[in-house]
Amino acid sequence: MPEERFKLIPTSHLILIKDNKILLLRRFNTGYEDGNYSVVAGHLDGNETFIQAMVREAKEEAGIDIKQDDLEIVHVMHRKVPGEERIDFFIKANKWGGKPKIMEPHKCDDLSWFELDNLPNNIIPYVKQAIDNIKDKRFYSEHGW
């Protein structure tokens, strides 16, 4: 019997910036991220690209409409957490339709704009690392190694 191949968990993260502020949401009922800020994000469902997943997640989590052509990948992170490895694509929306709002109140209790240079203390560390890398125009990083 062949050995099972190693697998990475793929996730798309939305970078939404306006007036030098970034949109963050505070998660709960998710496990290790509880009570901390993150960007809108989600796992790929399979049979979809990172860009397609981001369009879907933006609508599901924040109620906004984004066209695939208005998205660009600005950072990639290879991340290690206990028991698994992940590949995170941070995708910036250059424009979107609608006003962001909490669409999953069972998973999120705040959705706010924060100054890029004054992020909340309770931001998830790898998300802060990605934002810092994006600001410095670094396309790739690793976390948790």
Q: How far apart are CA 8 and CA 86, in angstroms?
A: 5
The predicted model scores a pTM of 0.94
What domains are defined for the chain?
A: 9-143 (3.90.79.10)
Q: Read out DSSP for 38-68?
A: E-SEEE--SSS-HHHHHHHHHHHHH--B--G
Positions in the chain short of pLDDT 70: 1, 31-32
Q: How far apart are CA 44 and CA 133, in angstroms?
A: 23
Q: How far apart are CA 128 and CA 37, in angstroms?
A: 9
Note the pLDDT of residue 28: 86
DSSP secondary structure code for residue 121 in this structure: T
